Amino acid sequence: MSQAVAASDVPSLEGRLIADKYRVLRLLGSGGMGTVWEGTHETLGTRVAIKFIKPQFAANREARARFAIEARAAAKLQTNHAVHVYDYGLTPEGLPYIVMEFLEGESLSERIIDQGTLEPAEVAQIIVQAARALSKAHAAGVVHRDLKPDNIFLARTDEPVEGLPHVVKLVDFGIAKILEEPAAPGEAPPAMGGPTREGTVIGTPNFMAPEQLAVGGAPGPLTDLWSLGVCAFAAMTGRLAFEGDMLGDIVLKVCAAPLPVPSKVNPNVPQGFDAWFARACARDPARRFQTAEELARSLADVCGLGRLRIATLDEDQVQYVLRPRQDAPPMSSIPPPASMSPRTALLAGLVLGIAMMVGVIGFLAWRERAASPQPGAPSSSVAP
């Protein structure tokens, strides 16, 4: 979390006891409609982060809906790469709150601002971990739809994660879309999640897919993949892919202008990254990577991490990496072994077995023949 900040429009909540078990300690950050505080579980002593709606927005239906969606969306994701939600409720004054895991570290946005460009291998590892969370989210029917470097958090950890001193966490599911789930027998179907009104743009335009900007919101898994591609561009080049002072400028660049070429912004991007970005952010959704796993695996290959299998579902902590030797031929140039039918394999086994038996019998016969005296051969015995 960021350092404690002062906000004139935020009443102090320090010392408050929430839900009879969470003690509010200090203010960590303040956003447009909410604040985040450090807290602790009174009994367990566990550090937590507590997010509140600002009092002036507590009666706003859309703000309350976003809070409920954030809690529900994050709670659906059982992954180490999304912020964990522990509790959700209302204070006695009717102020909604969310209790989440406490994270220390920095956002990808802060890292880019401080460092400029990141090393390709680190960019690939960050995107791979973010893709795991997206794979889980999409499988659970959740679309983040505000994926940007601010919402990719690099949380410090005591143990390195795949060589990095942090673990990637997706945060802020406040405008997530929870796709419609089938209703239980006898129940009315649940409403589509997401406080979207027709004709509105929800999200951060610099990182939104063209179909979201042009149609006024059509979120889906492929729009998240577009956003993840733009995040990779920013980390690799230190610049926004689609910059503009006015919303109209950004929309024009996202929807109509030629796509930026990363190597023209940073000549040191790895070979193949230009083509990867062009596919990740293809304006035709059908021409993009179709899954977060496919997108991440391709970027890992471009950045020299070798071939990966992105763990999903219950394999969240597993990643398999094959690093070929520098002098080894490319894996794609190695022909696969010819396949053999079961009948052919059986015949081959019989032939091999017979050949071995013949060899053994021949060896025994030769040894017996060599041990017996041959006719006409001089005797080795000595006459008395």
Structure tokens that stand for 270 in this block? 């790895």
Map residue 320 onto helix, strand or coil.
strand
Which of the listed residues 315, 332, 349 is the one where a domain comes to its end? Answer: 332
Structure tokens that stand for 266 in this block? 């940073």
Residue 89 domain flag: yes
Q: Are residues 236 and 158 in the same domain?
A: yes
Residue 1 domain flag: no
CATH number assigned to the domain comprising residue 174: 1.10.510.10
- For residue 31, what are the domain limits? 17-101
CATH number assigned to the domain comprising residue 90: 3.30.200.20
HSE-up of 196 (CA within 13 Å, CB side)? Answer: 23
Q: Are residues 25 and 144 in the same domain?
A: no
> Which parts of 77-165 fold into alpha helices (H)?
108-115, 120-139
pLDDT in tens, 198-236: 445 566 889 989 988 876 556 789 999 999 999 999 999
Q: Does residue 208 contact residue 253 with C-beta atoms inside 8 Å?
A: no
Catalytic residue flag (residue 146): yes
Structure tokens that stand for 179 in this block? 């796709």
Q: How far apart are CA 168 and CA 106, in angstroms?
A: 10
Averaged pLDDT score across all residues of the chain: 75
Return the pLDDT at 367. Answer: 55
Residue 342 domain flag: no
Q: Are residues 290 and 271 in the same domain?
A: yes
pLDDT in tens, 1-51: 444 445 556 778 899 999 999 999 999 888 777 889 999 999 999 999 999
- The one catalytic residue among 146, 249, 301, 316: 146
Return the pLDDT at 343. Answer: 44
pLDDT in tens, 122-152: 999 999 999 998 998 888 888 888 899 999 9
Neighbours of 88 (CB within 10 A): 19
Residue 177's pLDDT band (cuts 50, 70, 90): low
Sequence-separated (6 or more) residues with CB below 8 Å from residue 280: 225, 226, 228, 229, 232, 288, 289, 295
pTM of the model: 0.71
pLDDT in tens, 295-353: 999 999 999 886 554 444 333 333 323 333 333 333 333 233 334 344 434 443 443 45
Counted domains in the chain: 2
Return the pLDDT at 17. Answer: 94
166 forms beta bridges with: 156
Q: Are residues 73 and 218 in the same domain?
A: no
Q: Are residues 143 and 120 in the same domain?
A: yes
Q: Are residues 116 and 229 in the same domain?
A: yes
Neighbours of 288 (CB within 10 A): 22
Does residue 91 carry a pLDDT above 60? yes
